[in-house]
Structure 1
Amino acid sequence: MQTVLLAAGEGTRMRPLTASRPKPMLPVADRPLVAHAAAAAVSAGASRLVLVVGYESAPVREFFGDEFAGVPVEYAEQTDQRGTADAVRAAAPRLDPGPFAVLNGDALYDEASLETLYEFAPTVGSYRVDSPENYGVLHTESRDGERFATGVTEKPADPPSNLVNTGAYAFPAEAQDWLDVGESERGELELTDVLTRACERADVRVVPFERWLDVGRPWELLEANEWKLGELERDVAGDVHGSADLRGRVVVEEGAEVDAGVVIEGPALVRSGASVGPNAYVRGSTLVGPDAKVGHAVEVKNSVFMRGATAGHLSYVGDSVLGRDVNFGAGTTVANLRHDDEPVRMRVKGESTSTGRRKFGVVCGDAVKTGIDTKLNAGVVLSGGARTKPGESVLRDR
């Protein structure tokens, strides 16, 4: 099944992490987010991949090249960012005649469900969520013990059910002629309108996904890493001091260093060029990215350190995302729990939004630097290049 992967969007809800990179290239365990979708597609039966790129496309092209996991890769450029149907329309000249699948490049899919989606095309993936008003909600009907789609409503105020569209489709060949849709109320060309056309012309089977994650906001990047780090098998190839204690599913890549007195409780991944310790404590689902540093007596819990991010001395980092080349001064402490035990909130596109997580720390864009003994409140966002003063307590975004 030829497969279109949508990887052109800016990911504005993920700012500041996407200020200089596309959301699908954010790190999830040992590879970019979009590479997990691509790997699942190949495992499910994708014969070729067409990646739709746009915003900051060079990293996508550099990572994938012209082949991925043994299948050929081509690229289509979406220049106007006018929606998902517009993205697939950009890919259409590179598609062969025949059926095709479409996947969001910023989502995680379980491979077994995706294989079912490919096998029984035309199909649409579904998943049950607690807050369906934030998604496209599927309209369905049951016939002969099977569920079929009849349409979809985007972000309804009064959802008819909690069954949502996962952004995974397998379309019949003729759907390549249905991509010229009108603008939606949001001013975009929506692939859901193509789905509606498919439902009018054929029986579109609804495939329930066992596991699915839409990675749209920073705390969902933590959740994505929790998922994929949890799938890693223990592998210690780097330089690990004899007194270090590695517990459970811990991966230390070749070229990484773990110093004396370190305790790492998996699942955790220490990537090549990274260093941990001495006497550091790393736990939860933590990614220590390439050339990142967790230094002396630093505790890190359930966090993502992107390339070159550093917490060098006597700091605590919990449930947080640190962008590239962030540097936390000695004694920097992250708060990750509200006193009233309510879910931590952070601002997304200017609006205070619940993370749904009882514990959530901070989000730092690239090249943030904190002064020594800085205190960062739960849910604070520091934009790329932000600075704090020594001893400062940061209670608001900057």
Structure 2
Amino acid sequence: MHKLSNSTTETVAVILAAGMGTRMKSSKPKAMHPIAGLPMIRLLLNQVEKVFDRIIVVLGPHMETLADFVKPHQVVIQKHRLGTAHAALQAEAYFGKGIVTVLNADNPLIRENTLQRLIDEKKKPKTDLVLLAMECNDPKAYGRVIENNGHVIKIVETLDASDAEKKIKLCNSGVICADALYFSKWLKEIENHNAKKEYYIIDIVSLAVKEHKVVKALRASETELTGINSQSELAFAESIIQKRLRKQAMDNGVTMISPETVFMSYDTKIENDVILHPNIVFGKNVVIRSGVEIKSFSHLEGCEIKQNAIIGPYARIRPDTVVGQDAHVGNFVELKATALGDGVKANHLSYLGDSIVGKKTNIGAGTITCNYDGSRKHKTVIGDEVFVGSDAILVAPVEIGNKSLIAAGSVITDDVPDNAKAFGRARQVNKNSKVTLKN
């Protein structure tokens, strides 16, 4: 939800998200490409919602999925893609009379505090327009921000820059903030005298300078303002977000033996005193409680791991799974829609799907629950303190009673009562015969 303002000056964010991102070589809108499991538009909205009173998102035609995703914010459609200024102008009827900030959906790494600094800078006396700028080690194709006595006097595109101007490392990010009335006026004055015949929002700067308005450049880091226009830039943004997520986790008391090999989702929740070994992947909706140890090459999604459990190595924990306190889930064990009770051990080469397993039960190596009959899923319920021997096959629906024993190699198709011993295998027969070995 958007922020409720305590100020008499309303703040409005306009997010330009109409681009398809042809350089992404993808059929999906650029703004829907994920970073840490979250579409980049939502990553940006999460920060913008903390600062601005209202948010307007400018989309292109036939972007219904994206329109649904940005609800409840105001959506306007740019029917013809005629440039960034033209896109912002489609939202002009909703500007109001406060401060308007135009952002790009492909700049999803901007943080709340930077946006707040931008608004605060604009509210300073005799400041008419503020843009976000970054010091780039390699400016590449970014427009250079030219200043004089702390005021921006122009922005020069790389193709038009002199040799001296090309050496300037202060670059434009495309984020602009100004009073709504000025913004509306300048957007309508922008012309399209360029090779592409498009209306570029950055031309607002030259219009403001011509009117002797005060234009300032607010610095932020290059990694925070980096744009995403290709798959390689998307991967770079992913690396930045992963570094942020890892640092936040370690600051909260998580031990990572090799942080750069741990990959997290935007919503991963890890409590203190958790130990993460190298090469672990967290998908969406994972909660790890205090004292858990997760060993290498484990993949977890949609699950909760309770206190002091041990996971892995080479474990796969799938959605709708809860692993109880002090439980052990070992190498090449897969759990799906399964609740493991406290102290359960499933240490080797097993699959448990659509299952409930009671406290202190042992699941032998190679055990599987046959939960799918070709059309429907069925439940397996295993009681407390059960010993399931190796290579057991439990054909659901089936219930295994408390403190029962399932013999190794058994195929169990019927319920087993409490304290029973179940043998579901053929009797071994030994026959005497002479075997002749031929050379």
Distance 2:33 2:284 in 1: 19
What TM-score do you get using the length of structure 1 for normalisation?
0.58
Q: What is the letter of the counterpart of residue 86 of structure 1?
A: H
Name 1:179's counterpart in structure 2.
187
Matches within 5 A, 1:48-63: 48-54=54-60, 56-63=62-69
Distance 1:169 1:150 in 2: 15
**1:5 Cα deviation from its structure 2 partner:** 0.3
Which 10-residue stretch deviates more, 124-133 or 156-165?
A: 156-165
Pick closer, same or farther for the CA change 1:289–1:222 going to 2, 3 Å. farther
Distance 1:271 1:213 in 2: 29
- 4+ residue runs over 3 A deviation: 233-238, 245-257, 269-273, 277-282, 288-291
Q: Is the 8 Å Cα contact of residues 134 and 170 (structure 2) preserved in structure 1? A: yes
Gapped regions of structure 1 (runs ≥ 5) = 67-72, 239-244, 283-287, 298-398
Name 1:13's counterpart in structure 2.
23
**1:58 Cα deviation from its structure 2 partner:** 1.8
Distance 1:135 1:161 in 2: 11
Pick closer, same or farther for the CA change 1:200–1:194 going to 2, 3 Å. same
- Per-residue CA deviation, residues 183-239 of structure 1 (Å, 9 max, x unaligned), is 13332100011122123331111100133211111111111111222233559999x
Matches within 5 A, 1:87-236: 87-107=87-107, 108-121=109-122, 122-142=129-149, 147-156=150-159, 158=163, 159=166, 161-173=168-180, 174-180=182-188, 181-183=190-192, 184-201=194-211, 202-210=213-221, 211-232=224-245, 233-234=248-249
SS of the aligned residue for 2:153 comes to strand
- Per-residue CA deviation, residues 76-105 of structure 1 (Å, 9 max, x unaligned), is 101111110000011111221232000111
Distance 1:178 1:109 in 2: 25
Pick closer, same or farther for the CA change 1:195–1:226 going to 2, 3 Å. same
Q: Is the 8 Å Cα contact of residues 48 and 115 (structure 2) preserved in structure 1? A: yes
* Residue 83 of structure 1 pairs with residue 86 of structure 2: no
SS of the aligned residue for 2:156 comes to strand
Which 10-residue stretch deviates more, 211-220 or 45-54?
A: 211-220
SS of the aligned residue for 1:109 comes to coil
Q: What is the letter of the counterpart of residue 218 of structure 2?
A: V
Distance 1:252 1:36 in 2: 16
Q: What is the letter of the counterpart of residue 173 of structure 2?
A: T
Q: What is the letter of the counterpart of residue 69 of structure 2?
A: F
Distance 2:155 2:84 in 1: 14
**1:7 Cα deviation from its structure 2 partner:** 0.5
Name 1:345's counterpart in structure 2.
none
Q: What is the letter of the counterpart of residue 115 of structure 1?
A: Q
Name 1:34's counterpart in structure 2.
41
Q: Is the 8 Å Cα contact of residues 124 and 205 (structure 1) preserved in structure 2? A: yes
Pick closer, same or farther for the CA change 1:25–1:141 going to 2, 3 Å. same
Pick closer, same or farther for the CA change 1:217–1:289 going to 2, 3 Å. farther
* Residue 246 of structure 1 pairs with residue 246 of structure 2: no
SS of the aligned residue for 2:91 comes to helix
CA RMSD, aligned part only?
3.8
- Relative to its length, the structure with more strand (as a share) is 1
Distance 2:319 2:148 in 1: 48
SS of the aligned residue for 2:207 comes to helix
**1:24 Cα deviation from its structure 2 partner:** 1.1
* Residue 25 of structure 1 pairs with residue 32 of structure 2: yes
Distance 2:232 2:312 in 1: 29
Pick closer, same or farther for the CA change 1:270–1:208 going to 2, 3 Å. farther
Q: Is the 8 Å Cα contact of residues 5 and 105 (structure 1) preserved in structure 2? A: yes
Distance 1:58 1:262 in 2: 42
Identity of aligned residues (%): 22
Q: Is the 8 Å Cα contact of residues 271 and 289 (structure 1) preserved in structure 2? A: yes
Pick closer, same or farther for the CA change 1:85–1:148 going to 2, 3 Å. same
**1:270 Cα deviation from its structure 2 partner:** 5.2
- Per-residue CA deviation, residues 261-300 of structure 1 (Å, 9 max, x unaligned), is 96259xxx95549xxx986599xxxxx9999xxxx99xxx
Distance 1:62 1:290 in 2: 25
Q: Is the 8 Å Cα contact of residues 171 and 198 (structure 1) preserved in structure 2? A: no
Pick closer, same or farther for the CA change 1:128–1:289 going to 2, 3 Å. farther
The number of residues matched between the two structures is 263
Q: What is the letter of the counterpart of residue 16 of structure 2?
A: L
Pick closer, same or farther for the CA change 1:128–1:81 going to 2, 3 Å. same
* Residue 65 of structure 1 pairs with residue 71 of structure 2: yes
Pick closer, same or farther for the CA change 1:11–1:253 going to 2, 3 Å. closer
**1:256 Cα deviation from its structure 2 partner:** 10
Q: Is the 8 Å Cα contact of residues 9 and 55 (structure 1) preserved in structure 2? A: no
Q: What is the letter of the counterpart of residue 207 of structure 1?
A: L
Q: What is the letter of the counterpart of residue 111 of structure 1?
A: E
Distance 1:155 1:86 in 2: 22
Higher relative contact order (CA 8 A, sep 6+): 1
**1:48 Cα deviation from its structure 2 partner:** 0.8
- Per-residue CA deviation, residues 282-328 of structure 1 (Å, 9 max, x unaligned), is 9xxxxx9999xxxx99xxxxxxxxxxxxxxxxxxxxxxxxxxxxxxx
Q: Is the 8 Å Cα contact of residues 297 and 312 (structure 2) preserved in structure 1? A: no
Higher Rg: 2
**1:112 Cα deviation from its structure 2 partner:** 2.3
Q: Is the 8 Å Cα contact of residues 37 and 283 (structure 2) preserved in structure 1? A: no
SS of the aligned residue for 1:189 comes to coil
